[in-house]
Homo-oligomer: A and B are copies of this chain.
């Protein structure tokens, strides 16, 4: 059914089909992270064979992808004390030691990030049926990213779509459908199942590096998941889905009826956390080399009370 062009009805049908509200109780704020049982955490650690660690985060600085689109800007970093103060004698009141200190202003979803379940609303509700009155200017009282503080640990699986298709990257506007995900996983010889953190590579970061600038990476046309991807991820009970793009989904979306329909189906209804702007390039190279597409993933958010997203420096450990 979702082979055809989706519309608002498709989206509503899939949302209803994969809805997990109440599944883990009326107070749940974790969604499919509930699938990551201690047994799965233990098993994921068993995937560490080479002892090789990959940081999947972009540098957080003014060279990041944001341009002000959607009110998002790259982070600002300022020194509170720096080496110049040491040279100039500004710390000579200290006994022997000198030090530096700093601060940053970060729009939390401006770079490599987790969307919290409080990030997306539809028909006046967020995941598990909580209302928008629970996210005030003081932050999210429900579904904040802080709930996941010790839950972003488990088995990671990389699905390298362009490499599977012998291409360097997908082009903006190309959708990754259910069949593409299945074919890629099969070719890679990796299973995707309950409690997995699935990292889908589109290659868009590689493409922008090739061009030499981010262009409209943040918010513009992008390769990404099509609506039918929900039919792949939801029945498999994955824990989270991640891409190397700004917004998970193919842009422009497949239908003008709904902006970011998979966010509604997967994050809001199914309770699947989404990761965005993850840099999968080095990890993908390594997976291609050793043919191993699974690993331990540890991607803890900052513990900002009330935050609806978080910068993250995800660690893929092979």
* Chain A positions near chain B (C-beta within 8 angstroms): 8, 11, 37-43, 45-55, 57-63, 68, 70-73, 75-90, 94-109, 112, 118-122, 124, 131-140, 146, 149-151, 153, 256-261, 263-264, 296, 298, 300-309, 311, 313-315, 317
Q: Which of the listed residues A61, A103, A306 has the most CB atoms from chain B within 10 Å of its own CB?
A: A103
In terms of DSSP, what is the predominant structure of the interface of chain A? mixed
Minimal beta-carbon separation of A175 from chain B (angstroms): 17
CA distance A264 to B151 in the complex (A): 36
Report yes or no: A105 in contact with B103, Cβ–Cβ below 8 A.
Answer: yes
Report yes or no: B313 in contact with A88, Cβ–Cβ below 8 A.
Answer: no
Q: Which of the listed residues A63, A75, A79 has the most CB atoms from chain B within 10 Å of its own CB?
A: A79
Beyond the given pairs A53-B151, A97-B261, 14 more chain A to chain B contacts, judged by CB atoms under 8 angstroms and listed by A's residue number, are A45-B48, A54-B150, A78-B78, A81-B137, A83-B84, A84-B90, A85-B136, A102-B108, A103-B107, A104-B106, A104-B304, A105-B105, A106-B106, A153-B315
Taking CB as reference atom, which chain B residue is nearest A75? B304
CA distance A283 to B94 in the complex (A): 35
What are the 7 A-B residue pairs with the smallest beta carbon separation, nearest first?
A84-B84, A83-B132, A38-B51, A45-B48, A42-B51, A83-B135, A41-B51
